[in-house]
Structure 1
Amino acid sequence: MKGTDSFNFKIEPWLTTDERPEYTTNIFDLLSRDMKLESEDHSATFSILRAPDWINVVPLTDNDEIILVEQYRYGIEMPTLELPGGMVDPGEDPLETSKRELLEETGFAGSEWFDLGKVSSNPAVLTNWTHTFLVKGCTKIQEQQLDGNERIIVHCIPLERFIDQIRSGEVHHSLVVAGMMKYILSEHYTF
């Protein structure tokens, strides 16, 4: 509801006493983070993944179709149907990243952009945020510009069909579901 008071968190925060890198990859830095609960004089070490922020784009055509990307996901070893998205490059604004990723992955661009907010990607272990942008008036203006490991098939389907695929569990990528929820709860959703 609009206008409701913010939640008042009461849990004691853990304090970081030390942090050291354990391993670095092309996407994540694995950190060991020593933390302490002062009230209990209790300490523990946690594994944390430091990652750049990510973006998701909800791209809509004037015909109420959504532009989606089908890709193979190595973690779950199966294909997924997703919103276009990617990593925010160092020094890049999330909106710039969204425009770049949409164009590179799909060849589409849009005319009206709206910031739908951000979600913590997985606050249990990840340090980053995922920003979601809505873009309306999308049309194809060029061919895809994929990097060496990307294999993406672009699909344009009715928006309501995609929402049904989320409802049924056929679309299960958590950040895609969260991005769509941000859209559905926004003032821009009109169904």
Structure 2
Amino acid sequence: MSDENGVPQAWETLTTETAYDCSAFEVVHESVRLPDGTETGFDTVREPEAVVVLAFTPDDEVVVIEEWRQAVGRTNRGLPAGTLEPDEDPKTAAKRELTEETGYVAGRVEPLTTVEPSNGLANSVHHHFVAHDCRPTGERNLDADESIRVETADYDDLLSALAVDDLRDGRSALCLLYYDRFEGSER
């Protein structure tokens, strides 16, 4: 890959080693050569792809979760989300995660967008979906480290919560704003 003047931009990876590995992610250290020939190190977080689900009930309420987030030391309010299983397609994962975390089953699931939220330091890929006609007819199946409270909320109230820093989960914020900007008129 080159810039507009034909100067190469891609880094050459010389070596790769896992510096830390746990069940949710790994930290990888690479020795790289920059386009100007400089050799340096670069650390990256690698994790499975994830899904985020904006789930509407038949009466247009949004299914919302509250979950403790150790990294920030507080309970966060947001949308159901989770990682893909090996060889699982994102739409299947969205349906599964919605049911596992909330007990809601979607009548219809459609893709919204796919983003790389932290591509300066992680290989994270988040697939955002909107689910319609969601009903609490499934069985929750939380992971051992999940403690989730489920509720429903008014869509416009959630958008307002973003404006006053009452909904700070970045995945959820992006999903709501993307839907509002590009898909919301279809509601």
Q: TM-score of the superposition, structure 2-length normalised? A: 0.90
Q: Are residues 1:41 and 2:37 paired? A: yes
Matched-pair identity in %: 23
How far did 1:189 drift? 4.0
Which residue is 1:104 aligned to? Answer: 100
Contact 2:95/2:109 (8 A) holds in 1: no
Aligned equivalents of 2:41, 2:79: Cα separation in 1: 35
Please state whether the residue corresponding to 2:174 is helix, strand or coil: helix
Aligned equivalents of 2:97 and 2:61: distance in 1? 19
Note the C-alpha offset of 1:186.
Answer: 2.5
CA distance in 2, matches of 1:149, 1:49: 20
Q: Distance in 2 between matches of 1:89 and 1:143?
A: 18
- Per the alignment, residue 155 of structure 1 pairs with 151
Q: Which of residues 76, 84, 87 in structure 1 aligns to 2:83?
A: 87
Cα distance in 2 between the residues matched to 1:149 and 1:100: 17
Aligned residue in 2 for 1:53 = 49
The 2-side partners of 1:147 and 1:29 are apart by 19
Change (3 A) 1:9 1:96: farther
Deviation digits for residues 155-189 of structure 1 (CA, Å, limit 9, x no counterpart): 10110001111121111111111122221233354
Structure 2 residue 45 is matched with structure 1 residue 27: no
- Structure 2 residue runs without a partner (length 5+): none
Q: Does 1:78 align with 2:87?
A: no
Q: CA deviation at 1:13?
A: 2.7
Give the AA of the match of 1:141: T
Number of residue equivalences? 183
| Residue 142 of structure 2 corresponds to residue 146 of structure 1 | yes
Equivalent AA in structure 1 for residue 30 of structure 2: R
Measure how far apart 1:95 and its partner are: 0.9
Q: Is 1:119 aligned to residue 129 of structure 2?
A: no
- Report the counterpart of residue 5 of structure 1 in structure 2: none
- The Cα shift of 1:14 comes to 2.3
Q: Verify: 1:187 aligned to 2:183, yes or no.
A: yes
RMSD of equivalent CA atoms: 1.8
Q: Specify the SS of the correspondent of 1:75.
A: coil
Matched, 1:165 2:161: yes
2:49 counterpart letter in structure 1: D
Which ranges of structure 1 fall in alignment gaps of 5 or more residues?
1-7
